[in-house]
């Protein structure tokens, strides 16, 4: 079983739709959760960073973490064609020792928002 599971899609939605992207994980030690966006021929760009459970909102983006269910989500409201990219979830336990800097990534979900 992979430590982090993410549906690779592809996911295609019309402009203006609400998009829901999800990851599940098996390691209960994960404490820090991130979402990255990666455009074609570019490196991953940090979108959201959260610690432990709860919600975080930034403009049209909302990140949710449910540690009891080992489930994280990224919601995109009023999606735009410019949101078309691959979205990667990533997570890490508390840093230290062999866990230092060790992000575990999902496979990424390819999203297309069509006009």
| 42 lies in the binding site for other proteins (CB under 8 A) | yes
Instruction: Please report whether residue 96 would count as binding other proteins according to CB under 8 A.
Output: yes
Give the nearest distance from C-beta 69 to other proteins in angstroms. 21
> Which of 71, 77, 66, 101 shows the shortest CA–CA distance to 89?
71
Say if CB 88 and CB 4 are below 8 A apart.
no
Place of tokens 């993410």: 6
68 CB-near residues (< 8 Å, 6+ apart): 53
109 touches other proteins by CB under 8 A: no
Q: Is 91 in the site for other proteins (CB under 8 A)?
A: no
Binding site for other proteins (CB under 8 A): 2, 4, 8, 31-32, 34, 36, 41-46, 49, 88, 90, 92, 94-96, 98-108
């Amino acid at each position: 079983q992979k430590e982090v599971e993410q549906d690779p899609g592809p996911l295609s939605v019309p402009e203006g739709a609400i998009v829901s992207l999800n990851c599940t994980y098996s390691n209960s030690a994960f404490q820090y959760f991130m979402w990255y966006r990666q455009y074609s021929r570019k490196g991953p760009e940090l979108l959201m960073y959260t610690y432990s459970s709860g919600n975080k909102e930034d403009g049209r983006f909302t990140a949710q973490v449910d540690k009891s269910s080992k489930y994280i989500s990224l919601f995109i409201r009023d999606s735009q064609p410019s949101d078309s990219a691959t979205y990667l979830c990533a997570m890490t336990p508390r840093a230290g020792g062999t866990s230092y800097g060790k992000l575990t990534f999902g496979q990424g979900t390819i999203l297309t928002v069509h006009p």
